[in-house]
Amino acid sequence: MSASRGEFTSRFGFILAAAGSAVGLGNIWGFPTQTAGNGGAAFVLVYLILAFFLAYPAFMAELVIGRHGQANAVTSLRKISNNSTQRIFAFIVGFGGIVCAALILSFYGIIAGWMMSYAVEPVTRVVGLTAVGDWVISQSLARNLLFVSIFMFMTVSIIRFGVEQGIEKWSKRLMPALIIILLSLIGYVMTLEGASEGLQAYLLPDFSRVLDPNLLVSALGQAFFSLSLGTSVMIIYGSYISRKENLVTLGAQVTLIDVSIAFLAGLLIIPAMYVAQASGVTIFGEDGSLVSGPGLVFSVLPALFDGMGSMGVLFSFAFFVLMSVAALTSSISMLEGPVSYVVENHGVERKKATTLIGIFILMLSCIIVFNLGTLLDFVATLSTEYGQPIIGMLCCIFVGWIWHRNNLLSELQSGYEGVEHSLFWKIWPWYTKLVCPLCIGLVFFNSL
Ligand code: PFF
């Protein structure tokens, strides 16, 4: 089996692919939106702390499980189990992660479809197809079905080609494009009236809110979602990393890129909201808080673009292309979890498995589209607020309590011989064993 498995051809390839999974709508939409809804800079501060002190150790747990197992999540977790009860537990956790990834993709694809439709709209205006433009940005069953299908088609097309020719090749193309578009947009927004007020709201924390339980829960959920934890994705990406690579630094680099891009997205969105306000758009809701959620991306920002004349058309196009690209590099990772499991454990050929699973997830998306008002929130809550933290916590328990410490050490030593004497090895094992499961559990139960 291992001879036919793919592997990232370089550390750069892995970093871009894993960062591609991590950087998505969660960073560019979720993070700024949560920041707006949770008191601005106080949220940013708590997020940064939780991302490095809770999400990074949990992320390392998943990567090391995958690199050791050199297989999909179920098989990798089974390889570190010591008896039949643990192997059953391994199946539940691994398969649970795969289901979670599939559920996330089923609603994520719908939102990504909206982003694509908003990217198409400025193009229709330029070529004079105004009626088509109005249709693509109006909520309708047909529009939603069309765009989620296009998005899923793109995701399936990339995953069919496997690790090197699919995931790695496309991550290397899309991620630099994403960073260039993001930086250009920030540069432009900063020149506009109102941006500096937005910068202040984003960067000056109100310390009284830092310990607010709601803020803590939202920040942890956001950090887990952003690093794609608890979904089997980082286990499978870990399994494609060569044994020559130093996992500790690779994991830290990906976390840093993920957090930095979320931070940059905030530098774009929050000032853009205040720019919109300066040109007459309402950015505060009735309760006095900043508009967040879909209202922010699909009404405040388009209103801002509309007021910018011809520059606004270009800006709007670039912004929604940015969103779509970010969504695509994440969705391919979500599909890879279930596909690798079916290919490796059920002997189905990759292209066939990808198409079948893609169609199955698209059908789930269609069911959600038909019941948008009830199912979208339900599936999102189930998978991201329950599934991800629980499975992420169980992966930490596997590493901390089930995996023999010496075996864990020898896995980390490949690619990093001196790890035994590093600060990482002094802190991380007990951190993953005690602090991570406890904190994740506490925050999770608090949210119930
Ligand atoms: N990390 C992605 C984002 O921030 O948008 C979302 C994500 C990707 C969640 C992959 C789960 C996953 F398995």
What span, in angstroms and rounded, lies between the C-alpha atoms of 407 and 263? 37
What span, in angstroms and rounded, lies between the C-alpha atoms of 372 and 380? 12
In three-state form (DSSP H/G/I as H, E/B as E, the rest C), the secondary structure along 148-194 is HHHHHHHHHHHHCCHHHHHHHHHHHHHHHHHHHHHHHHHHHHHCCCC
106 CB under 6 A from ligand 1? no
333 CB under 6 A from ligand 1? yes
**Of 235-239, 265-269, 347-351, 440-444, which range is least confident?**
440-444
pLDDT band at 2 (very low <50, low <70, confident <90, very high): very low
34 CB under 6 A from ligand 1? no
What span, in angstroms and rounded, lies between the C-alpha atoms of 438 and 50? 14
Q: Between vectors from CA 11 to CA 24 and to CA 435, what angle results, nearest 5°?
A: 65
26 CB under 6 A from ligand 1? yes
Do 291 and 276 form a contact (C-beta atoms < 8 A)? no
In the chain, the largest separation of any two C-alpha atoms, in whole Å, equals 66
21 CB under 6 A from ligand 1? yes
What predicted TM-score, i.e. pTM, was given to this entire model? 0.93
Residue 127's identity, in one-letter code, is V
Closest CA to 329 of 201, 197, 175: 175
SS3 448: coil
Query: Which CATH number fits the domain that encloses residue 346?
Result: 1.10.4160.10
Do 120 and 136 form a contact (C-beta atoms < 8 A)? yes
Q: What is the pLDDT of residues 296-325, one digit of tens each?
A: 888 888 888 887 888 889 889 999 999 999
Closest CA to 153 of 102, 103, 109, 197: 109
pLDDT band at 215 (very low <50, low <70, confident <90, very high): confident
Which has the higher per-residue pLDDT, 86 or 29?
86
Pocket test for ligand 1, best of 110, 226, 381 (most atoms within 8 A of CB): 226
Cα of 331 vs centre of ligand 1, distance in Å, is 7
What span, in angstroms and rounded, lies between the C-alpha atoms of 171 and 167? 6
Q: How far is CA 341 from CA 136, 236, 336, 357, in A?
A: 36, 9, 8, 11
Closest Cα to atom 9, ligand 1: which residue? 228
Closest CA to 234 of 21, 6, 441: 21
Do 194 and 271 form a contact (C-beta atoms < 8 A)? yes
pLDDT at 40: 82
Q: What is the pLDDT of residues 233-247, one digit of tens each?
A: 999 999 999 999 999
pLDDT at 245: 94
Residues forming a β-bridge with 284: 290
H-helix segments, 227-349 = 233-239, 247-278, 293-295, 301-306, 309-346
Which has the higher per-residue pLDDT, 359 or 37?
359
Mean residue pLDDT of the chain comes to 92
- As for how many domains the chain has, the answer is 1
User: What is the distance, to the nearest Å, from the Cα of residue 189 to the centroid of all Cα atoms in its chain?
Assistant: 25
Please tell me the total number of residues recorded for the chain in this structure: 448
Residue 409 domain boundaries: 3-447
